[in-house]
Amino acid sequence: MKVLLTAIGTTGDVLPFIGLGRALKARGHDVTLITHGHFAVQALRAGLGFVPLGTERQYLDALARDRLIWDAKHGYPQVVRCAMGLLPELYATLRDLLSTGPAVIVAHYLDFASRLIEAEREAPVLSALVTPFAFQLARQYLADADLPPALADIRACGMPNWNVSSLMTIGMFPAWFASQDQEWPEQVQLTGFASFDELAPVPPLVDDFLADGAPPIVFVAGPRVELGVGVDRTGWADAMIAACANLGRRGLFLGEVPGIGDRLTGSMASAAYAPLTRIVDRCEGVVHHGGIGTIAAALGAGLPQLALPVCHDQPHNAAKLRELGVGDWLPGSEVTGSCVAESLGRLLDSGDVRKRCEYFGPMVRTGDPLGSACAVIEFMAPRSLVQRHSAAVPMLESTALVGSGCG
């Protein structure tokens, strides 16, 4: 079976699709990933066919220069505008790939091009989400978003979940992490956290540090801090270092934060990147930005975690940590060394939090989420794979696809 995967966003959005593609390829399928050029190395390392959307420089420049993307209030609407900007290129790419033979598309929920493909009956389309709060965010912001005519027509006929497949939506998260009060589409299959970063090696410096003392606290900068958009990176680093020192714990700092290595003590280490799923079982706790991939890794290791959320799904994810009893979160005004140390210390010293972490850890580690997602695709696609009829449905004019763009 030929499978086309589309992914839009940052690492937390794209890596699960790379993991899904690798799992599908291992089951004998022909898989091509269409995503930002920034992820070419990871995709090719996984053995996937790869078609880039723009260059790596274009991707990084957009994230670093567009402050609205990381704004607490305007961030998600701006992400939607950026996704609209990819629509013409993504639509043309999918049509070109479909011209070589029938395929099933597994699309990110902000891949609006695949919704057009599905409406034209060009190929069966399944949607995939890595966080349950995507449903809520889409319902909140897409209902009134400025859309090109072709998408506006689909929305008019398919509210409130017009942006996902009418065939099946795969939720790559467990049911107990989901917000059950949401108005979800009728066809949803949850498969568990699709944590995937195993292709990246653990840097020797990190491996040596973990082996040379007590389990450390891991501080994950996240993309906003790494890019330095709307945040003082030096201030963030100083606050995290002070929190670690106040707790009297060893600390491992992950992320490309300029100059952080120069300010660390002997009980601390830093690295631009390390695959969390391969190191968290040797750590004591995690402080992070609220990304779903980091949360899943910490949950799987049974570690208390403190989130410092700002935008997108981060506040929702952080609130879920508190609800589950496995962690807590702090607003931006309280991201200081003393506040982080106090909150994290309380979590680490709480027997109740430890019990909750121990309860959810095995629930994340058991099962085969990526295999389950593959099984859903394999079950649904052959029953819906129809003969393309491009002669009957002409390719839309590019002027019908142009959205607001990014920036």
pLDDT in tens, 174-189: 999 986 656 788 889 9
Radius of gyration in angstroms for the set of CA atoms belonging to the chain, rounded to a whole number: 21
380 within 8 A of 124, measured Cβ to Cβ: yes
| Contact criterion met (CB below 8 Å) for 200 and 22 | no
Sequence-separated contacts (24+) of 157-164 with Cβ below 8 Å: 161/135, 161/185, 162/115, 163/109, 163/110, 163/112, 163/115, 163/127, 163/138, 164/109, 164/127, 164/129, 164/138
CA nearest to 403, candidates 134, 154, 113: 113
Cis omega (within 30 of 0) for bond into 160: yes
Q: Does domain 204-365 have CATH number 3.30.420.40?
A: no
Residue 401 pLDDT level (bands cut at 50, 70, 90): low
Residue range 205-222, pLDDT digits in tens: 999 999 999 999 999 999
Confidence of residue 407 (pLDDT cuts 50, 70, 90): very low
- If DSSP codes are grouped into helix, strand and coil, which group holds residue 106? strand
204-365: same fold as 2-196+367-400? yes
Check whether 126 has a pLDDT greater than 90.
yes
Distance of CA 182 to the CA centre of its chain: 20
- The stretch 147-151 carries a mean pLDDT of 88
CA atoms of 51 and 103, how far apart (whole Å): 15
The domain over range 2-196+367-400 is classified in CATH as 3.60.110.10: no
Alpha helix locations (H) across 350-405?
351-365, 369-384
Q: How confident is the model at residue 104 (pLDDT cuts 50, 70, 90)?
A: very high
Q: Quick one: pLDDT band at residue 199, thresholds 50, 70, 90?
A: confident
152 vs 159, higher pLDDT: 152
pLDDT digits (tens, 9 = 90+) for 377-395: 999 987 665 444 333 344 5
Q: Taking 60 as the threshold, does the pLDDT of residue 84 lie above it?
A: yes
Instruction: Report yes or no: 283 and 251 within 8 Å, Cβ to Cβ.
Output: no
The predicted pLDDT at position 230 comes to: 84
Distance CA(55)–CA(43), nearest Å, equals 14
Q: What is the pLDDT of residue 392?
A: 39
User: Of all residues in the chain, what percent are helix, strand and coil, respectively (each to 5)?
Assistant: 50, 15, 35
- pLDDT tens-place string over residues 1-17: 999 999 999 999 999 99
- Tokens matching residue 331: 């607003």
Q: Are strands 285-288 and 305-307 parallel, antiparallel or unpaired?
A: parallel
What is the spatial distance between Cα 209 and Cα 133, in angstroms, rounded to a whole number?
A: 36
pLDDT at 115 over 70: yes
What is the pLDDT at residue 396? 56
Burial of 191 (0-12, 13-18, 19+ CB in 10 A): buried
Give the tens place of pLDDT for each residue, 54-79: 998 889 888 888 888 988 888 888 99
Q: Please, what is the average pLDDT of the chain?
A: 90
d(CA 393, CA 60): 36
Contacts of 204 (CB under 8 A, 6+ apart): none
The mean per-residue pLDDT over the stretch 28-51 comes to 96
Per-domain residue ranges of the chain: 2-196+367-400, 204-365
What pLDDT does 74 receive? 86
Q: What is the pLDDT at residue 141?
A: 83
Note the pLDDT of residue 180. 60
Q: What percentage of the chain carries pLDDT values higher than 70?
A: 93
Task: Name residue 219's beta-bridge partners.
Answer: 253, 287
pLDDT of residue 383: 63
